[in-house]
Amino acid sequence: MSTLRMPLAVKVAFAASGVWLAGYELHLLVGLPYAGVLFNRYVHDGVLLLASILCGLRAWRGATERLAWGLIAAALLSWTLGEIYYTAVLWTAQSIPVPSPADVGYLGVYPLAFSGLILLLRARARHVSVTLWVDGLIAALVVGALGAAVVFEEVLKTVGGKPISVATNLAYPLGDLLLLGIVATAFSLRRWRPDRSGLLLGLGIVVFWAADGLYLVEVAQNTYTQGGFFDVGWWAGIVLIALAAWQPTKAMARRERRESVAAIYAPIGFALIALGLLVFATVQPLDKLAVGLATAALVAVMARLLITFRERVGVLRATRDEALTDALTGLGNRRRLMLDLDHLVDLRDGSFHLVLFDLDGFKRYNDRFGHPAGDSLLARLGGHFDTAVRPYGSAYRVGGDEFCAVITSSESKLESVLGGAVAALAEDGDGFAVAPSYGTVFVPAEARTSSEALTLADARLYEHKDSRRPAHHDETHSALLQALRERDPSLHQHLSEVASLARGVCRKLGLGAEEVDEIVRAAELHDVGKMAIPDTILAKPGKLNGDERAFMDRHTLLGERILAAAPALASVAGLVRSSHERFDGEGYPDRLKAEQIPLGSRIIFACDSFNAMTSDRPYARRKSLEEAIAEMKRCAGTQFDPDVVRALQSVLEAPPAGSPAGASSEAPAARAPLASV
C-alpha cells in the first residue's frame, strides 16, 4: 500500500478549489451578488493552474508511481495552457480557427494522460489473471461503443474542410474514448471495487469526458456559448484527477482463483449492452465506429468464454490428478489403483500380477527419528520404487507404509521385477533396517475381481511377513502365550478372540501391516499382567472389595513391566499399559483421554469389552450380538472411541467368509465375531 501524507496547505488548496467550483456553478444557475471579480472568465485558469501544480507536487514528493503522476500532471498542465490561450485570445472571437494554439494544449492531454494511466495500471495490476484483463478489454470496448454512439456521430455530421481540421475535430472524441477505455479496464480489474485514488481518478475522467461530449455536440449543433453550465465539468475533472494523486493507493493483490457467479456479472452485462447497440443499429443507423466496437466487444466475450473454459478444464484436470496422486511420493494412490485395476479386469484380454508391499521396520524408524524423517524416507523409497517398476507396469502408494505394483510384463520377468522392487523399498543405516514383505496374485488365474485380488494379496503379504518375523520375537511371544494357556485356558481363549477382533478392526481402519501386527500382539497379551494377580483374587466368586479391586486394576502396569523386559515387545508393552483407558478419561492407570490414548489401546479396549459382553460370566448375563453392539454404540464417546466402535460394528456385521451376503448364522453370539474376521 502506498500512502503520501497530504500537507495542510494542499488540503486547503483543494478545499478552496472545490468551494470555488461549486460557487461558480451556483452563480450560473441562480446568480450571486458581487461575483463579478470572483467568477470572471480568468479566475478558473488560476484554479486549473493550481490543480496542475498540486499534481506535479505529488509526483515530485512521492516515492512510488512518480513517472506516472508526472505524466498525468504534464497532461493537466497541457490542457490548462490551452485553456489559458483560449480564455485570453479566443473567448470572444467571432470565428475560432481549427486547429489553433489552444488545440495543441487541449490535444496534448491525451498522449500524456494515456501514458500516465498505462503506467499506473501496470504498477497496480501486476498479478491479475488473463480473464480479468479480457474483462477489462470488454468493458473498454463497450464504453467506447457507447461514447461513439452518443458523441462521435454528431461530430462526424459537421466534420469538413481541410484535412488538418478534420483530424483535429475527430481527435477529441477518439482521445476521450481511449481514456474512458482505460478507466473501464482499471475498474474491471478491480472487480468494480476501486480504491479511493482510482475512484477519484475515474470520476475525474468521466466528468471531463461528459463536459467534452456536451461541448462537441453543442458545437456540432452550433449552440455552444462560452462559460456555460457544463464548462465546470472540465475544470472539476482536472481538480478531481489532481486530488486522486494525493490519495492512498493499494496494488491489486494476487487472489486465489475462486468460483464465483458474481465474477461473470460484469462481462455479461457489457455483452448485453453491446448486443443492444447492435440491435438498435438495425432500427436506427449508428456510426460505424460504434458498431465496430460493439462487435469487437462480443468477440472479446466469446474469447473470455473460451479462456474460462480452458481454465476450468485445467483446474478439473489438476484436481483429478491430485485426487488420484499420493501427495508425498507422487505415485498413484489407492483411488488410482482401484480405477486401474477395474480397467484391467474389464479388458478381459490380458493378465497381470498384483503385488502388495508393506515396509517392515518402518514404524520403529518413524518412532526413533520422527515423522518428518519418516516422510522423507517414504518419499525417497517411493521414487526408487517407481523407477524399478515403471518399465514393467505401474507403482502406487496405497497408504501409510504400504505400496503396490501392477506388473503387466511377461511371467518370465516377474522374478527380476520383484527383486528390483524389493531392493528399491529397502534401506538400512545406523540403528535401523527397513525392508518389504509382499504378497503376489496372478489375475485372472487366481482372482477375477479387484477386491478378490486385493484380499488374496493381503493374505499372502501377511503370510510372508510371518515367515520373516525374527525367531527371538516369536520365541518370547509364544512363551508368554503358553504361560497364559497353562495358567488359565479360558483366559487364553478370550485373548485369542480379542486379538482376532482387533485384527479385523485394524484393517477396517486402514492401518499398515506392521502396525496391525503390533496391535494384534498387544491384544493377545493385554491380560498378561493377570499372571501376577493371586488366584484368591482372580478366582474369587462375586464382587471384589476395594483393596482387591485396586490390586486387580494394577494388572495393566504389571503386564507392561513383564513385556518391557523383552526388547522385542517393548512397543507392545505401552499398548498393554493403556488397554483399559476410557475415551472420557475415566479409565486406568493414567486416566488418559481421547487422542491421548494410543489407537491400538483404544481398539483393544473396545474388542475386549465386546468379547466380555458376549461371553459367559459369573457376574453378568451374557448378551446377544445385537445387544452387545447396541451397548457399544451407547457407550461410544464415553467409554469407547466412536470411530473404533463403527469399525467394530462393520466387522461384526460382515458375512462370514465363504457365506453369501446376508446369510444368517446359528453359531453362538460369542463365536460370530470370529467367523466374521
Find the range with the poorest average confidence among 87-91, 332-336, 470-474: 470-474
CA distance 657 to 660: 8
* Residues 464/438, Cβ–Cβ less than 8 Å: yes
Confidence category of residue 428, pLDDT binned at 50, 70, 90:
confident
Q: Please state the rounded mean pLDDT for residues 420-447.
A: 89
Q: What pLDDT does 154 receive?
A: 61
Mean pLDDT computed over 540-544 = 63
Supply the mean pLDDT for the chain.
82
Report the predicted TM-score, pTM, of the whole model to 2 decimal places.
0.49
Domain presence at residue 460? yes
| Residue 523 to residues 76, 87, 129, 386, 605, Cα–Cα distance (Å) | 86, 101, 58, 36, 9
Asked if residue 606 is part of any domain, the answer here is yes
Whether residues 595 and 560 share a domain: the answer is yes
Residues 514, 654 share a domain? yes
Residue 360 bears catalytic tag: no
CA distance 311 to 318: 10
Instruction: Note whether 506 and 581 are same-domain residues.
Output: yes
Residue-level pLDDT at 637: 92
Residues 6+ apart with CB under 8 A from 412: none
Residue at which a domain ends, from 467, 495, 525: 467
Domain boundary among 243, 261, 279: 261
Residues 302-332 have pLDDT tens digits of 888 888 888 788 777 877 777 889 989 999 9
Condensed to tens digits (0 to 9), the pLDDT of residues 84-96 reads 999 988 887 777 7
Stretch among 114-128, 376-390, 500-514 having the lowest mean pLDDT? 114-128
Of 109, 57, 74, nearest to 245 by C-alpha is 57
The residue from 261, 292, 315 where one domain ends is 261
N- to C-terminal Cα separation, the chain? 64
pLDDT number for residue 444: 87
Range of the domain at 174: 8-127+164-261
**Same domain (yes/no): 546, 417:** no
Give the residue, 278 or 620, on which the prediction is more confident.
Answer: 278
Asked if 606 and 476 sit in the same domain, the reply is yes
pLDDT at 243 over 80: yes
The residue with cell 461371553 is: 615
In the predicted structure, residue 278 carries a pLDDT above the cut 80 = yes
CATH number of residue 518's parent domain: 1.10.3210.10
> Would the pLDDT of 471 be above 50?
no
Domain count, the chain: 3
pLDDT digits (tens, 9 = 90+) for 546-599: 666 666 678 888 888 888 887 778 788 889 999 999 999 999 899 999 999 999
According to the model, what pLDDT value does residue 469 have? 62
pLDDT band at 281 (very low <50, low <70, confident <90, very high): confident
Q: For position 673, what pLDDT does the model report?
A: 33
For residue 3, is it within any domain?
no
**Other C-beta atoms within 10 Å of 107: how many?**
18
- Do 670 and 562 belong together in one domain? yes
Alpha helices in 149-264 (DSSP H): 153-158, 163-189, 196-220, 231-245
Do 460 and 530 lie in a common domain? Answer: no
User: Is 340 a member of any domain?
Assistant: yes
CATH code, domain carrying 430: 3.30.70.270
435 and 450 together in one domain: yes
Inside any domain, residue 152: no
CA distance linking residue 271 with residue 268, whole number of Å: 5
Residue 30 lies in a domain: yes
Distance separating alpha carbons of residues 358 and 41, to the nearest angstrom: 92
Q: Are residues 587 and 671 in the same domain?
A: yes
Residues 435 and 507 placed together within one structural domain of the fold: no
In a domain? residue 392? yes
Is there a single domain that holds both residue 395 and residue 426? yes
315 in any annotated domain? no
Catalytic position from the list 195, 231, 360, 401: 401
What would the 3-class secondary structure string for 445-458 be?
A: CCCCCHHHHHHHHH
- Same domain for 424 and 445: yes
Summarize pLDDT for 19-64 with one digit per residue, the tens.
998 888 888 777 776 666 777 888 989 999 999 999 999 999 877 8
